[in-house]
Amino acid sequence: MEKKRSLLHTQKKKSKKCLDPCPVCDKELYFDEHYSKRAGLLDENEEVVGWMCPFCKSEFDFSNRVTYIMPMDNSRGIA
């Protein structure tokens, strides 16, 4: 009987990935365990209704559904 030795290298290297990426621009929104970079959106009653990505200015509700996407600016003048 032949002994079979199988070395399984199943350990995956932790790939660098965003913890909380913006669904639109993929920028990292994770700041630390307590805060994110998401900017809160208030309605007229000052109720928080969603959040905005500070990078691409897209707006989302709390189901991460996009409620507003900044239109692509064809005059790339905004710094």
Contact range with Zn ion by CB under 5 A, out of 7-15, 33-41, 45-53, 63-71: 45-53
- Total interface residues for Zn ion by CB under 5 A: 6
Tokens linked to 10 = 């199943």
| 38 belongs to the binding site for Zn ion (CB under 5 A) | no
Distance CA 50, CA 63 (A): 9
Strand-by-strand arrangement of the 48-52 sheet: 39-42, 48-52, 59-60, 66-68
| 55 belongs to the binding site for Zn ion (CB under 5 A) | yes
- Closer to Zn ion at the Cβ: 49 or 55? 55
Tokens linked to 79 = 């710094």
| 29 belongs to the binding site for Zn ion (CB under 5 A) | no
| 25 belongs to the binding site for Zn ion (CB under 5 A) | yes
